[in-house]
Amino acid sequence: MNVILSQVKIANGETIGYRYKKGGEKILLLIHGNMTSSKHWDIFIDALDHKYTIYAPDLRGFGISTYHTSINSLDDFKEDLKLFVDEVGIKKFSLIGWSTGGGVCMVFTADYPEYVEKLILLESVGTRGYPILKKDITGKPIIGEFLKTKEEIAQDPIQVLPILNAYKNKDKEMLKRIWEATIYTHNKPDDAKYEEYLEDMLTQRNLVDVDYALATFNISNEFNGVKQGDNRASKIKCPTLILWGENDLVVPKQMALDIKADIGNNATLVYLKKCGHSPLIDDLEQLVKVVENFLEE
């Protein structure tokens, strides 16, 4: 069955683009991360068993979705997701969130538990967010000092400005260098697919807003240096699978451990061998096997 790229207008005035693949009664929602869109799920969607019906939305400000209103938190994406599933008419599904998408999926599951059968967190941002450290004049992080406003984040010389400039100048070579230093450190997509992904990255219109949302995300019961947590992680009661690649340079292992600690005994942490931040590219076969085994349990 072919994957269809479609759009739907949701109740807050935004239009959400999404990829859809018709399958059986089991429904999966795939939520992408920062610097990507549903496009980056394409090989994973193709590799999954045909018994799954799949929806993969573009978050607001990514891909072909609109960005009429700026987001300030991952809860804004979460509310878009709620409006999206209500609009397309699905009530019970499993969620897979990759990186930033993992944070969106966690707050959705905490706030709308009746919708979610199982939760899979793939190289997910931690329950305590992703604060950005201030940098000294040499560009080195200053331990314990965090960027706290969108204005400060937009001027970060290491993690933010190079990407903003690459987007502005449509500099795909710079984006490649960034991804190959942090994400595609082991395997890379084939040339044609890589070009499609780079084109897709240039659709993002909300990098600073998302980085701010990640820095201020905290659903633990701890203080993360920027914000006190609201402990919503403890409300996630469905079976949860945390997947962390042992070579991930973007999300540290501690974030996976924090998710496990903050959600509790219904969460299982599995380490993906020889994978970095994109197991879809590093070892698609391993990823599909682990995901399908968990969904069938």
Q: What is the CATH number of the domain that holds 33?
A: 3.40.50.1820
Query: Is 169 part of a structural domain of the chain?
Result: no
Say whether pLDDT at 141 is over 70.
yes
CA distances from 42 to 46, 54, 83, 274 (A): 6, 11, 23, 21
Query: Is 207 part of a structural domain of the chain?
Result: no
Q: Which among 243, 246, 254, 242 has a CA at the least distance from the CA of 276?
A: 246
Q: What is the pLDDT of residues 223-245, one digit of tens each?
A: 999 999 999 999 999 999 999 99
- Domain span including residue 25: 4-130+219-296
> Percent of the chain, pLDDT > 90?
98
pLDDT band at 27 (very low <50, low <70, confident <90, very high): very high
Query: Is 290 part of a structural domain of the chain?
Result: yes
CA dihedral 194→196→202→208, nearest 10 degrees, is -60
Domain count, the chain: 1
Query: Is 251 part of a structural domain of the chain?
Result: yes
Query: Is 273 part of a structural domain of the chain?
Result: yes
d(CA 62, CA 69): 13
242 has which bridge partners? 121, 269
Specify the pLDDT at position 44: 98
* Mean pLDDT across 274-288: 98
**Phi and psi for 175 in degrees, rounded to 5?**
-60, -40
Query: Is 9 part of a structural domain of the chain?
Result: yes
Specify the pLDDT at position 282: 98
Say whether pLDDT at 28 is over 70.
yes
Q: Secondary structure of the chain in the HEC alphabet?
A: CCCEEEEEECCCCCEEEEEEECCCCEEEEEECCCCCCHHHHHHHHHHCCCCEEEEEECCCCCCCCCCCCCCCCHHHHHHHHHHHHHHHCCCCEEEEEECHHHHHHHHHHHHCHHHEEEEEEECCCCCCCCCCEEECCCCCEEEEEECCCHHHHHCCCCCCHHHHHHHHHCCHHHHHHHHHHHCCCCCCCCHHHHHHHHHHHCCCCCHHHHHHHHHCCCCCCCECCCCECCCHHHHCCCCEEEEEECCCCCCCHHHHHHHHHHHCCCEEEEEECCCCCCHHHHCHHHHHHHHHHHHHC
**Does the predicted model carry a pTM greater than 0.95?**
yes
Q: What is the pLDDT of residues 87-125, one digit of tens each?
A: 999 999 999 999 999 999 999 999 999 999 999 999 999
pLDDT band at 1 (very low <50, low <70, confident <90, very high): low
Q: What is the pLDDT of residues 54-81, one digit of tens each?
A: 999 999 999 999 999 999 999 999 999 9
Quote the mean pLDDT of the chain: 97
Query: Is 28 part of a structural domain of the chain?
Result: yes
Q: What is the pLDDT of residues 169-225, one digit of tens each?
A: 999 999 999 999 999 998 999 999 999 999 999 999 999 999 999 999 999 999 999
Specify the pLDDT at position 236: 98
Query: Is 269 part of a structural domain of the chain?
Result: yes
* Mean pLDDT across 14-31: 97
